[in-house]
Amino acid sequence: MSDFTSDFWAFYVTAITVVSIIFCLVLLIAVGRLKIKTAADDTTGHVWDDNLREMNNPLPRWWTYMFVLTVLFAFAYLWLYPGLGSRLGSLNWSATAQLQTELERARAQTDPLYARFVSMLPEDLAKDAPAMVVGERLFSNHCAQCHGSDARGNKGFPNLTDDDWLHGGTPDKIKETITQGRVGNMPPMAAAVGSGDDVKNLAQYVLSLSGLAHDSVRAALGRDKFVVCAACHGPDGKGMQAIGSANLTDKIWLHGPGVERTIVDMVSNGRVNVMPAQGGKLLPAQIHVLTAYVWGLSHK
């Protein structure tokens, strides 16, 4: 109930819950006492499919008792556990407290294992089979949703198995990325480049940087326009890991194939990529193991 700013809503939920349960019980009693006029053969007169007649038999006793027990169970549950508005219940149980208890129990079991892992360098840890089993599980739970189960990424999500790193591929940089997250911003630059033809010529020049198929005449025309991009990607187009700008000379493309339309789209519309921080979700020891696992993906 923490999302509500008035005590009225707690009272409202409590009233609706209690009234609904009492109504079910009253309805059962009323129906049990209700007398329905029947024919001489003790049927209600309703007939289906020519010969299927509805009898006027009372509910089975066991069914009635089960219904009453269900109502009593509901009252007992609401007395012991949260369910009546903001009331916590006599046991003071909460999902948050139970989760914390389970986490503490799990940590008590895994701390001795992680203690050995933390004492090792990531480079050595990447060769430790038990540690990599743990790292693989961590990767599957926290990274595979974006980078894929095989860590080869997808359109817009980096491949972690090659040697191309936007912010650096050392264990320290990988740990920094996992812990703090990253935000990559390629602003729209078409207005700074010039006309539509200028953007296309620039795209041809970028293709030439990595030796891909390109129009050499148009690439020459776009060379001077690259000064707009050089501020982030460097004058040689090899990028700068200090700011996370991409290397444009290695034939690795994050947002699509290395063709003119992909580059024109990037220059015209820009891109914003977000790598969420895991520091608040994972323990430092878990991040250490995950760092070794990710580093090992490109250092088989």
CA distance 198 to 193: 6
Who wins on pLDDT, 6 or 198? Answer: 198
pLDDT at 10: 84
The answer, yes or no, to whether residue 2 has pLDDT greater than 60, is no
Q: Which two tokens mark 105? A: 């129990």
Residues 159, 151 contacting (CB under 8 angstroms): yes
103-181+276-297 CATH, one of 1.10.1380.10, 1.10.1740.10, 1.10.760.10, 2.40.128.20: 1.10.760.10
The answer, yes or no, to whether residue 58 has pLDDT greater than 80, is no
pLDDT at 4: 56
- Does the pTM exceed 0.85? no
- Delimit the CATH 1.10.760.10 region(s) of the chain: 103-181+276-297, 185-275
Average pLDDT score over the chain: 90
CA distance 199 to 265: 10
pLDDT at 3: 58
The answer, yes or no, to whether residue 36 has pLDDT greater than 80, is no
CA distance 239 to 289: 29
pLDDT at 159: 96
Q: Tokens 């326009």 sit at which residue?
A: 225
Domain at 185-275: CATH code:
1.10.760.10
Who wins on pLDDT, 9 or 125? Answer: 125
The lowest-confidence range among 25-39, 65-79, 188-202, 285-299 is 25-39
Confidence of residue 1 (pLDDT cuts 50, 70, 90): very low
pLDDT (tens digit per residue) in 85-116: 888 889 989 999 999 999 899 888 888 889 99
pLDDT above 90 coverage of the chain, percent: 70
The answer, yes or no, to whether residue 165 has pLDDT greater than 50, is yes
CA distance 75 to 80: 9
> What is the pLDDT averaged over residues 188-195?
94
CA distance 262 to 209: 15
pLDDT (tens digit per residue) in 241-263: 999 999 999 989 999 899 999 99
Tell the burial category of 13 from Cβ atoms under 10 Å away from its Cβ (0-12, 13-18, 19+): middle
